[in-house]
């Protein structure tokens, strides 16, 4: 797992052809908008969160965020334990995100 600043995360994401953006916030938070192309798996789903992660392609690079960077850090640690090699936590979360925010599809 790697904590990236807002700038590092955005720049690395923009140049990564193997990237997946992962939002680990609650349904209510996601309804307020997401970073474009994000997939959503609520970390508070407990074992359901683990099951959903296990369905993901471990060869991809995951750019993980939440509201403030706390839950996404926990999610990255869980992903690492499950065998994901590249999980990047967005420091400061979506609260400090200066990029685009779109409605969740």
Contact 45, 70 (CB under 8 A): no
Q: Cα(32)–Cα(88) distance, rounded to whole angstroms?
A: 22
Instruction: For residue 54, give the 3-state DSSP assignment.
Output: helix
Contact 22, 38 (CB under 8 A): yes
Considering the candidates 66, 76, 78, 94, report the single residue annotated as catalytic: 66
C-alpha R_g of the chain: 12
Kindly report the number of other CB atoms within 10 A of residue 96's CB atom: 14
Q: Is 66 a catalytic residue?
A: yes
* H/E run at residue 21: strand 19-23
Q: Looking at the annotation, which residues are catalytic? A: 66
């Amino acid at each position: 797992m790697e904590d990236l600043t807002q700038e590092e995360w955005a720049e690395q994401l923009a140049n990564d052809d193997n990237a997946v953006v992962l939002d680990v916030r609650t349904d209510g938070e996601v309804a307020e908008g997401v970073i474009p192309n994000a997939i959503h798996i609520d970390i508070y789903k407990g074992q359901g969160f683990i099951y959903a992660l296990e369905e993901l392609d471990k060869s991809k690079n995951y750019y993980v965020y939440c509201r403030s960077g706390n839950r996404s850090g926990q999610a990255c640690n869980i992903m690492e334990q499950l065998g994901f090699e590249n999980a990047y936590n967005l420091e400061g979360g979506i609260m400090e995100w200066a990029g685009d925010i779109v409605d969740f599809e």
